Amino acid sequence: MLGTEMHKDLLIGGQWVPAASRLPVFDPATGEVLAQVANATVTDGLAAVSAAYEAFASWGYTPARVRAEILRRTFEIMTAEVETCARLISLENGKAWRDAIGEATYAAEFFRWFSEEASRVEGGFRYSPGRDKTIVTDHRPMGVAYMITPWNFPAAMATRKLAPALAAGCTAVLQPAAETPLTALWIGDVLQRAGAPAGVVNILTTSASGQVSEAILSDPRVATLSFTGSTVVGKLLLGQTAQRVLPSSMELGGNAPFVVFEGADVDSAIEGAMIAKMRNGGAACTAANRFYVHESLSKEFTAKLEAAFSKLRVGRGLDSSNDLGAMVSNAERNKILALLERAATEGSELNALADIPETGAFIAPYVVRDVRHGSTLTNNEIFGPVAPIVTFDTEDEGIRMANDCEYGLISYVYAKNAGHGISLARRMESGMVAINRGLASDPAAPFGGMKESGLGREGGFAGIHEFLETQYFAVDL
């Protein structure tokens, strides 16, 4: 299934190192074991920190242009081998081929964007208002950056951290989710081939994420944590980083509202809904999770969304004729089914709109009618191809329901025109708002949330600053 040349050991200090035990990686479409990767212990984790710490002594002072060229080569290799990357993503995560290619391309773009940003970090010079000194500001790399990533975007969540960290001059210890370690190992190999010096990037695959992370976060040589995952685990890690006052960037849960206001074009809203809901089979922090539709449009929107869902083909991700692949595991699929069961007991009408294969972690796409705001499906991040629809009467009511949530990552707003959309977007409590479109993610844009969706921004001009310290020099010039 996987080529024998595929690395399955830990990447520490430029070497592929076996661990005391192995960790099986499953294909969720078939249940087959794809590979047995090294299962890192606390000792391996601390060895990775040592390697990153030693490498920082020279990488932190390597000219930005040299770092940029390595990042650019990484982008070029990933782009040339995009199908290899997509294949690994689809195999271990289950997602549809189109989504896997989309992710691999998006993931590579972070290396291109941050290769360009590496040499554009600006310092500052100005006089104090009383002219008694000059104020010089500088930025320096923080040091060893520890990164923990989830299973839903095995490539992009890693590169969105690795690229800015390396551009800034930091070295990295990356720990991918236990379900999807293969893509991260492949990215480590690409970085080695692109010329990243030994120890600049270290990859730990483990089933003991809690133990390994606790030891790494207690190590004074680690300078920052960048985490993407659930809000529950994010809060737990913030409790640990608080002990060392460690800078922590957090990309957490979503529960995005998709609001169709009076006067919006329904066909265009359906087109956007299919992207916002079905990208990655709904397993995205940015996935539209709750649909609020103005009562004048709700009947038409619901009927058209059901028609669009019923055209979807569900099956193995590697078969490019399928639109929806498998969920990452049976456990994840069962979580979604449990939410649906609860929704049915609350009086919602569930419509499963496609056939699914008999085996594997598949789930049909559902449109759910008669949903009440504040019920199970609007209160929980569903993380699957399920679209609950709630109807509202006034603009204020639509906005109130959209904002009535502890999360604030992204909102989708369909309005009569762009001006109306921007006035609505200013009232949404989310770090990102997609206006009359179903996709916002872009390596050149600041990605991140308000409220319990996180701290900090990735991508854009802001992303590199998550890995830089600002230093001020008071000086007479």
Q: How far is the CB of 151 from ligand NAP (least distance, A)?
A: 5
Q: What is the DSSP string of 84-105?
A: HHHHHHHHHH---HHHHHHHHH
Q: Residue 55 is encoded by which pair of tokens? A: 């490498």
Q: How far is the CB of 371 from ligand NAP (least distance, A)?
A: 20
Q: Where are the beta strands (DSSP E) in 329-461?
A: 349-352, 366-369, 386-392, 407-408, 410-414, 432-435, 450-451, 454-455
Q: How far is the CB of 259 from ligand NAP (least distance, A)?
A: 19
Q: Are 248 and 237 in contact (CB under 8 A)?
A: yes
Whole-angstrom Cα distance, residue 184 to residue 140? Answer: 27
Cβ distance to ligand NAP smaller for residue 291 or 301 = 291
Cα of 330 vs its chain's centroid, Å: 21
Q: Residue 165 is encoded by which pair of tokens? A: 């960290």
Cβ distance to ligand NAP smaller for residue 315 or 463 = 463
Rounded to 5 degrees, φ, ψ at 416 are -70, -30
Cβ distance to ligand NAP smaller for residue 27 or 381 = 381
Q: How many helices (H) and strands (E) does the chain have?
A: 14, 22
Q: How far is the CB of 237 from ligand NAP (least distance, A)?
A: 6
- Selecting among 92, 251, 458, 466, the annotated active-site residue is 251
Question: Which residues face 406 on adjacent strands?
Answer: none
Would you call 251 a catalytic residue per the annotation?
yes
Whole-angstrom Cα distance, residue 298 to residue 294? Answer: 6
Q: How far is the CB of 393 from ligand NAP (least distance, A)?
A: 30
Cβ distance to ligand NAP smaller for residue 113 or 392 = 113
Whole-angstrom Cα distance, residue 365 to residue 310? Answer: 8
Give the residue carrying structure tokens 């701290």. 455
Cβ distance to ligand NAP smaller for residue 171 or 209 = 209
Length of the chain in residues, anyone? 477
Q: Are 209 and 128 in contact (CB under 8 A)?
A: no
Would you call 76 a catalytic residue per the annotation?
no
Cβ distance to ligand NAP smaller for residue 70 or 107 = 107
Q: Are 257 and 402 in contact (CB under 8 A)?
A: yes
Q: How far is the CB of 312 from ligand NAP (least distance, A)?
A: 22
Q: How far is the CB of 23 from ligand NAP (least distance, A)?
A: 9
Torsion sign (Cα): 265, 266, 269, 274: negative
Cβ distance to ligand NAP smaller for residue 151 or 412 = 151
Q: Which residue is nearest to ligand NAP (CB)?
A: 229
Amino acid making up residue 299: K
Q: Which residues contribute to the site for ligand NAP (CB under 6 A)?
A: 148-153, 157, 177-179, 209-210, 213, 228-230, 233, 236-237, 251-254, 285, 381, 409, 449, 454
- Selecting among 85, 92, 179, 285, the annotated active-site residue is 285
400: left (phi over 0), alpha (psi -120 to 50) or beta: alpha
Q: Any idea which residues carry the catalytic annotation?
A: 251, 285
